[in-house]
Structure 1
Amino acid sequence: MPHYKELKLGDVWRTCNKIRAAIFRMGINLFDYFSRLDPHNNCLISESQFISVINGQLRAIIGLSEQEVGELADYFRVPDGRIYYTQLCDVIHNSVPQFSQNAPLITGLEWEDPLHTNRLSVSEERRISILLTKIATLVNFRKIILRPYFQDYELVSKNNGTISIAHFARILAYLEILLSADDFNLLVKKFIKDSYTVNYVGFVLSIDEIINYLNSHGIIDLCGDLMDLFPGKVITTELPKLPRPEIGKIMAAQLFGKQNVFHPALKEPKNIEHILTTISNLQDHVLKNRLRVAEFFRDFDVFKCGRITVAQFIRGLDALVLCGRQRFFLSLPDVEAIVNQYRDPMDFSRVCWRTFEDDIEHVFTVKELEKYPNVVVESPPQNVKELPPLGGKNWQKVNTKSRDLCEEAVQKVKHKITHRRILLKPVFRDFDKFNNGHISRAQMRQAFDSNAIFLSDEEIAALEDRYNNDVGFNYFWFLKDVEFAQQEPLYKQFNEDSVKLSGDKPRKPPTRQEKDIVVIMAKIKRKVVGERIRVVEFMRGFDKMNSQFITKNEFIRGLSNCRFTLSENEVDTICEVFGSPLRPHCVDYKRFCDAVEESFTQLCLERAPLVVPIQHIPTKDCEKNFLNFDERIRLSVAMQKLATKPDLQMNLMSLLQDFDKAKMGAVSPANFLKALNNRGMDKLISRNEFDIICKCFGFEKGWKKEVDYKAFMKALDILHATEKYNPF
């Protein structure tokens, strides 16, 4: 016998399947391992290299025996002894069947549809429709949810939407839905699947569709029973004789299909334009009242999945429309239209409130705007801007006859109030108790009648169509169109045009103090020391790059936030002094803040630890305290006269404190003169000298001028102590 084993194709193919399963499981590409050993790209490698890759790098992944590796090498060996590795890779990677390119063989079979129901004859379809309607009425009356009873069985049996006939009968009996043998057989015949199971998904969907139809069209009364809407009902004396428009108009038809039955006078469902208008009105309501939609629905969504039940969504929607200064009314059909628009397609019992929130808050901005930096956001959108007032008609869609009639009525009222000099605004304002610009229709008619403005009923109706909304008659709009516009003189318009051509308003020339930076800084330091203001906190927010420079406009905004009460000329002086020499239109706010902080401390104290900083003492001096040379001489003489009588003798301080009720250290000039008169000191000085003393020690407090008597008494004490007076 030969010493070698005969090579069989089946063994090689089995080895290739083993390799294919391993690399598909791990996501490996064989070309990456073999191409490294083939630098010349001739698709051939040596046998030792092939074995090193299979048994070395891929042994832990593929796990081939030595016999399988030898058979694989013998099969793909070329006559010169090398291995044709690209052929092996093609066999492994390119022999996968493409199932997506094949045509389906079972397309169109009825048992593929989970909602499929069987077809019955015309008579059986009518019977099954009536039977399903009775079952739906019973389920709606008892508030039963059918799906969980069937799903409990499916969790155990894994039947993919089907249950057995026996279990279907047990569930109906447990729910006390009593059926006869013929009715049950007809029900099974309609929903049977695969000859031994019942399609409960189609049964539950049919019941839900009937319940939704009955509830949406108002066919079920408050007791949960079907209303008798068919003709032939005998009206007895016990029933009220009300008009019945449905008699003679109801036609017999099937419950489901192309024809709708049970109520011919029902309104058609809301179209998409009406839903969009409702959404736009909600956006306008949210925009005006600055509401956040998520605040009204977030608490219902416990699992943060973005979906809540229909009842919870309606509750949140009611809270949303009732919130705000002006309530927004939504009718029941509008609410149902919104619910149907945002219903979850995977679960009809839930509503996607997150999608509703995104659509409503689109009036503020666009979601994920950071991904589209070039998008220009229009807030509010154009459709919200062009909304007609709530409760009013869209005047552009009103017929031409009503619009012409309204214009005639407006011209008639304008003619009467112009020629008779009538003022309608006080009359309307007397009726407007809440001062919101609206009155009722009856009050509008009463206002016209009281001023002898007689209009026909058609003209009144046309005016109501034009100026009425959900609040009432908007008399502001009406008076704007009716009242006589006062003509302005031509020279006023000429002056306005000349000012516009010349640019900004002419500014007053700066005074000496407005150009003196020392006076301005003293004014700022007095404010900072008195109110303990940290100026750098108001400036730092504008310096995003921490460059210690901000623009002039930002610097002016920071000064206005500090409330320094500076004039425009003083602000310009500060910007000029602390402006950056290298950056035009920029201000070195850090240098300005350091100059202001000198009122509390001194910079760079860490370099001079022995220096004791001196805090700035604010002064109340101003231009009105300035004394010239002659006035200073007269003041010196007057103070020397008064210093001859010190406070220890005259006790003038206690008398001045009695006049100072608020204990502010200042009294009025009249009280100051009374105090001097009581102590006999007014005879020492003349009236001119008294006025100079009041000017020297006076300051403005609000709109009044007062005298700082504490500084006056301190000056007298100093003069008396130094004995620099000349006795008379």
Structure 2
Amino acid sequence: MHYKQMKLSDIWRTCNKIRAAIFRIGLNLWDYFLPLDPKKNRLISESQFISVLSGQLKGKIGLSEPEISDLADYFRVQDGRIFYAQLCEVIHNSVPDFMKNQPLVSGLEWEDPMQVNRLSMSEERKLNLLLSKIATVVNIRRLIAKNHGVVTIAHFARVLDFLQILVSPVDFNLLVKKYLKDSYTVNYIAFLAELDKIVQYFYEHGALDLGGDLVAQFPGRVIHAELPKLPRPEIGKILASSLFGKKNVFHPALKDNYQAENLITIMSRIQQHVLQNRLRVNEFFRDFDPLRCGKITTSQFHRGLDNLGISGIQRMFLSLPEIETMITQYRDPTDPTRVCWQTFEDDVDHVFTVKNLERTPELEVNPPSQEVRDLQRKGTKDWHQVNIPRRELCEEAVDKIKKRVLKRGLLLKPFFRDYDKSNNGHVTIPNARQCLVANGILMSDEELYALEERYNCDMGFNYFRFLKEIEPKPEEVPLYQGLYARTKAVNAPPPAKPPTRAEQDIVQILVKIKSKVVQERIRVSQFLSDFDKCNEQVIKREDFKRGLSNCRFELTENELETLMDVFASPMRRQCIDYRRFSDVVEESFTQPCLERAPLIVPLQHIPTKDCDKNFLNFDERRAVAVALQKLSKKPDLQMNLLNVLQDYDKTNCGTITTEQFLKSLHKRGMADLISTNEFQVICKCFGFERGMRNEVDYRSFIKALDVLYATDKYTPI
């Protein structure tokens, strides 16, 4: 068998674990082991020892089984019992008694008149510079009221203001943070002592004169030499009218090297660059912030802006003053060496949307903003702010070039493209002048200066914009315009016809619907209830039309409008009460609320097949009556006409064609009894439209003959 080698460090680690649990909970091991030792011999059995540590104290101390076995082996005596008293003494008697020690801090340190607070390294450096500037003010000690060495913060601020020591809020908070005492007073004794040390240092190194002011040439090692001015050969060499002034030697975009642009303009340029190239600002700064605290150093922010400018198809150049402006704007107020890049990201992303838009769902967002849309390219002048004579001269020059191009039919784009190797739409100013001279467009210097001032930017002369105004293309009519108009006219819905009297009669419309329902056994509510998702008993007009079209009632548009006007909801006229409409249609089968009147026998609706094509005038009805009287002289029992008609009805639908009807009458010798006009009137009277043709309802015809024969048989002569 392999035995584990016991280490003293393991036993000591287990004892520290027990000691920590006892200190945290407040247990006493003697209370658990003494009841198991009635003879007080300080020894217990191994099973009792294990039961205490693994049973009663397992949830409180949390010892594992190997740790309990190591303790039992370590404190076991020769007879196999456990010396628990030694374990309790090791655990409880090793706690230090702090009451026997002398106090290290007496509290008198806070009463020291020179006691000050500790600051960070950067704050200490800034405070030293601030105190060096304040130290030149003399007689400050006499102006502070003498008391117990402290003054209030308000009194300290009034003294500094009386001495005309202009301190910013940040610097004043730094002074208060250094010399604050009792949370509301300032230790001016330590403040004055620090100023005395600085003044003494200045006197020792010769930085102050006899009056106590700083020496003008301090530190006195820099040699100042007045250099002569350099010659300016460009003065008086540039031709320009006195009316418009002289042309600037340097490009307007180069002024950023000396003075940064407005902060809003810089942010608009960054937003425009991000919008055009569809960039995510987060991707350029998050790698510098592994802890996702939202703050990075100034150098990292500088590198992130550089990477943001060179990404995408179009490049964006930010000068050093512009970057310093951005760093100053988004500097961390608690740490001047860091920049809040997430705040910068939120401000830039406003060009796409608004942050926390889910909290204001009714807010209308129309990105990008007007400033970003109207932002001109860097180096371009705002043409509305140029003086009026210069603008008028430029408009005259543009009009002159436009007339020359249209008169001679010139193409200026190939000449400009030869100088534009990178095809970015810009050329240099000398190249633009060469293109105009090469095409015979001669202009004065004032006109050229005006054109350059209008079309110049940081990349040069924008000839794309220049040619867009000089060479306007005529508006070309698309070839498909005529075809599109004809196609649209063909597919356009037919014009609405005025409703007839029958289309406005709700009774006839309902009879038409009930006949269709009875014949084809249609349940209208099944087609309309699917559109009522919330079980409101009403649906929209469009859904009502869609449901009736599925029923195939073959209603016209005017009939649908009449139906919707009648069954419109009283409280919501734009919706239809389809439940009331379904109940009215269901009356063709039964009557509602029959449980309240059990003696009523419901009558089923009998559908009629009459239509406009079956309508007979007075003469036609008289001709039909005479013809049927002639044909009813011989009953069907003698002629057996029904069987002949049924032979032609292969599908047993009750109708046959007019040709088959005429053949049947010829077979029984009944066609000779009536004329051709009478036959056509009979076919019209018993006509039925099936599919794309008109047929004859022979069953109704036989029933009419039987009725006439039965009534005529008992008629007295």
TM range (shorter): 0.3 to 0.5
Q: Decide which structure has the larger Cα Rg and report it.
A: 2
Q: TM-score, normalised by structure 2?
A: 0.36
